[in-house]
Amino acid sequence: MKVSMTVNGARYDHDVEPRTLLVHYLRETVGLTGTNIGCDTSSCGACTVLVGGESVKSCTMLAVQADGADITTIEGLADADGELHPVQEAFREKHGLQCGYCTPGMVMAIVSLLKENPHPTETEVREGIEGNLCRCTGYHNIVAAALYAAESAKAGAA
């Protein structure tokens, strides 16, 4: 079946098998391998991307369901000139990653969270990333990064 969607601002048209999962489409057909596959069972959140600006687990969505959608992956966050997105910058500043495997999904989940709730409490951040598992950090610095990104955005807006 023919699908067309916008990924990180560029339009893609492909013929896909209906059973193709969005994550496989993004990684193997579009060639954007920043989105990781972790558990493959909608649990770990490593495959989180934005569909229409909202976080979604791309292992639990068919590419055909995303036909016509506007997708953002981790590759689409930084500026064209390489300047990091505030959430990426916050992960660097707060050392919010160790092995890095969960990081693309974590960052996308937090971008979505901050869009819905620009000034979350620490508890709201922890609940907001309940769909993303990290086996290295103990979450502490990830939560710190999300709060730092929210603070920077506030400072930027002021």
Closest separation in Å from C-beta 130 to another protein: 4
Per-residue burial over 15-43, b if 16 or more Cβ lie within 10 Å, else e, is ebeeebbbbbbbbeebebebbbbbeeeee
Residue 122 found at the interface with another protein (CB under 8 A): no
Q: Which of 32, 61, 114, 149 binds another protein (CB under 8 A)?
A: 61
How close are the terminal C-alpha atoms of the chain, in Å? 48
Residue 73 found at the interface with another protein (CB under 8 A): no
Residue range at the interface with another protein (CB under 8 A); choices 39-47, 73-81, 95-103, 141-149: 39-47
- Distant-in-sequence, close-in-space partners of 146: CB < 8 Å, separation ≥ 6: 87, 90, 110, 113, 114, 120, 125, 128, 129
Closest separation in Å from C-beta 65 to another protein: 6
Dihedral of CA atoms 54, 55, 59, 62 in degrees, nearest 10, equals 0
Residue range at the interface with another protein (CB under 8 A); choices 28-36, 59-67, 86-94, 144-152: 59-67
Residue range at the interface with another protein (CB under 8 A); choices 26-34, 74-82, 92-100, 109-117: 109-117
